[in-house]
Structures are given as C-alpha cells and as structure tokens.
Amino acid sequence: MSVFKARVKEFEDALAENEIDLSYLRQLCFNGIPDVKSLRPRCWKLLLGYLGTNRESWNETLTKKRALYRQFIEELVLPPGLKEAHTLDARNGCLNDHPLSEGAESAWNIFFNDNEFLLQIDKDVRRLCPDISFFQQPTEYPCDIVVNSNGERRLHQRVVPSVLKAANVERKGLGITKINLITKRSEETYEAMEEGQEAHWEVVQRILFLYAKLNPGQSYVQGMNEIVGPIYYVMASDPDPDYREHAEADCFFCFTALMAEVRDFFIKTLDDSEGGIKNMMKRLSQMLQERDLQIYEHLKSQELHPQYYSFRIQRDQILQNDFASNVKLLQNYPFMDINVVLSKAVSLSYENCFHPH
C-alpha cells in the first residue's frame, strides 16, 4: 500500500468510529488532509465544532441547522416593504412605519443602516480570490427562495451602482441643438447571474450579510471575506452532492464557529486588550527580539513595525534588502513549505510554555 493510500485509510478509520477522537484527528490533520472523497469538509466540520464527536448525532444536527439557516434567509433577506403590507394603525388607518422613519425600531431605518455594511461586503466579495474563477461561476444549488424572487431577495441589487447620465449639448448659431446622451456606470468585477441562477460570490455575500445581521456588536469587518472564502470553497467542492447542496448553510455555521475563536481581532475596541491584535503583535515583536536580535534591530532601524511582518517573514532576504524591497516582501506570502512554518511555530510554542524567558 502506498504512503498516500495508507494516510487516506488513517482518516477513514478515524472518521468511521462511532465516537470521534478529536485529539487524534487533530494530529492527523496537522500535516494536511488528503483532498479525496469528503475527508477535508468533514474534518473541518468536526474541528470547528459544527458536528459533534458522536456520529449518530450528525443527521439531527445537520437537519436542524440547515432548517434554521433557511429561516434566517426568509426573515432577514427581504426589504421591509415587501415582507408584508405595512401594519395599519387600527384607530386612524395610518402607516406606523415608513421609509423616512428614523426611529430605532423602524424596519426601514434598520434596512438603510444594513445597506451601509452591505455595500462594503458587496465590494469585497466581488473581488474575492481573483486568481481563480470559482467564485464567478454559477453554483449548482442556488437558493430557490432567492433566485426565484424577481430580484427582491438579491442583496447586491440593494447596493447596485447607480447609472449616471450626462449630456453634451452642441449648438451653432440659430441652428438645431444637438444633444449627445452619455451613460456611465462603474464596472463590475463579478457579474451577477440572471433570474434562476446565482454565482458563488453571491452566496458568500449572503453568508456575510446574515452573520453581520445576527452579530450587530461586531457586524462586518474587512478581512472576514478572506476567512469565509476558503471555508465555502471546501464545502461547495465536496464530492458528495448531498453535502454540496447544503454548502451555504454548513459554511455559515462553520464560519460562525471560527469567528467565535478570533472575533476579538475584528472588534476595534478590543485592539488594546490582552487578547487583542495589538497585544498579540507586541508579543510577537518581543519574541523576535529574544530569538533573532539581528533581524529585530534591522527591522527597527528601517521603522518596519510588527504590523508589517506579523503574518509572514523571510530572514535572509530581509537582511539584504532596503526599506522598499522589504515592504514589498513582507506584504506578499513567501514561497515555502507551509508544513515547515507550522512545525517551527509549534516548536516555539512548546518552548515558550515549558521554558519561558
């Protein structure tokens, strides 16, 4: 048996147990999950806590969660004027809510406030992973209550760029006035699909919108699209069509579970807290100073602060480069074996736990 087949069998055996051993599964997944069958999406659902360790509970969990997600779409993805006729005051027959209302409880006021973060989501998902065509392609399983709604539930139409019209007027003496109409519209990176279809980026847009609606204290922050993108791609690429059909709902709950672990990094008011991003970068800077003083001093002399290199670093090239070259280097992912990076990170983590400086 080849090494690859043996590794696949290890995953299959681990996932076939009635009670999944998460510690063992994490060890298997650390060096990568074979991209065969449904191993990767299933492992992600388990490691993110979407599925429990008891296999017998999976069907019940999936059925409940997917039904709940559909309810979210039905209730939250529809302009207030279309949900049902405005409620009339029984006494005077007047509308108790209208598009100009500024009341905190006004459905219309909430709708326009939602459009502010929806506009940013729309911009971000349209340029998601431009190096691959996946997100521009139509999904096999469009959401029926959205694509057959005559556009009423399509989120991108709420923030679609306006069409600007201008005219050049030419007139010579007492002759005929000539008017040339000019129509300009901002170019769309990803085109929306026709009625009955939707692109993958539209699905991701809906996931992020619902997450922001259900988490008003956090809402949407740029960068979330880069987190949800890979999760959705894995779920939507599941070889099993039964799972692929529900990729949107499964992705939503996996993304929500992951955000629960890293949400502090996306809340600006917590940036300076102990678990905030600024404190994390400060700890990284201190570790770099302890582990590699030469690199630390070199970056400090060029005023390259931790936010430039918090996520990626290449030592030898940094020492040879000037400021401009180092900025460019630190803002691009290095070409290296990610397993080497992860193994070194685990080694440093153990050293810090058992031999703190």
Q: Can you give the C-alpha Rg of the chain in angstroms?
A: 26
pLDDT at 72 over 90: yes
- Torsion sign over Cα 109, 113, 114, 118: positive
Highest averaged pLDDT of the listed ranges 8-22, 130-144, 258-272, 319-333: 8-22
Kindly list the distances between the CA atom of residue 317 and the CA atoms of 195, 213, 299, 312, 320, in Å, as whole numbers in the listed order: 52, 44, 12, 12, 5
pLDDT in tens, 284-317: 888 888 888 888 888 888 887 777 666 555 555 5
pLDDT at 129 over 90: no
- Cα separation, 297 vs 339, in Å, equals 28
pLDDT higher at 21 or 182: 21
Cα 156 to chain centroid distance, Å, stands at 16
- Cα separation, 140 vs 242, in Å, equals 12
Segment among 89-98, 104-113, 250-259 with least mean pLDDT = 89-98
Report the alpha-carbon angle 59-61-66, nearest 5.
95
* Segment 109-119 mean pLDDT: 83
pLDDT higher at 136 or 105: 136
- The pLDDT of residue 40: 94
- The pLDDT of residue 286: 87
pLDDT in tens, 250-270: 999 999 999 998 877 777 767
Segment among 10-14, 127-131, 140-144, 228-232 with least mean pLDDT = 127-131
* Segment 263-282 mean pLDDT: 75
Cα 64 to chain centroid distance, Å, stands at 23
Q: What number of other Cβ atoms are within 10 A of residue 209's Cβ?
A: 23
Segment among 67-76, 162-171, 215-224 with least mean pLDDT = 162-171
- Amino acid identity, residue 213? K
Q: What number of other Cβ atoms are within 10 A of residue 299's Cβ?
A: 23
Cα 127 to chain centroid distance, Å, stands at 12
* Segment 148-170 mean pLDDT: 71
pTM of the model: 0.74
Q: What number of other Cβ atoms are within 10 A of residue 82's Cβ?
A: 11
* Segment 72-87 mean pLDDT: 70
- The pLDDT of residue 1: 65
- The pLDDT of residue 118: 92
- The pLDDT of residue 328: 62
- Cα separation, 137 vs 156, in Å, equals 16
pLDDT in tens, 178-227: 555 554 444 444 667 788 899 999 999 999 999 999 998 888 988 899 99
- The pLDDT of residue 2: 87
- The pLDDT of residue 89: 43
| Residue 139 exposed, middle or buried by CB count within 10 Å (0-12, 13-18, 19+) | buried
